[in-house]
Amino acid sequence: MSVRAELQELVAKMNANPERIASEKDRVFQINLEESGALQIIFKAGHVDIAEGANPDAEVTLILNEKNFSKLLNDKLNTTMAFMTGSLKVEGKLGLALKLQEIVKLYQ
């Protein structure tokens, strides 16, 4: 399964059970995949969408390869270790990168 399909599956779970993310602020997480470009995960009014390409309004950008993004989506990536070893780079608010991992855990 491609990482985009994995992300779509996760977003479908979030939108089917939005009470877990209802308190989340409206924000954009940008994911720059080394192999295939940028994606956006957009939280707005308790709903999640995915968009292609970069977004200048993203509060945080995660830069990683597809293998590690897949691990993140499946709650199998130690983000702290990935960050410290350079396999995950973060631009913007580091705390939001950790917040994304917390949200993913809610839907596993």
**β partners of residue 37:** 33
Structural domain boundaries in the chain: 3-106
Residue 40 binned pLDDT confidence (cut-offs 50, 70, 90): very high
Residue 16 has pLDDT above 80, yes or no: yes
Summarize pLDDT for 57-69 with one digit per residue, the tens. 899 999 999 999 9
Would you identify the CATH topology of the domain 3-106? Nonspecific Lipid-transfer Protein; Chain A (3.30.1050)
What predicted TM-score, i.e. pTM, was given to this entire model? Answer: 0.90
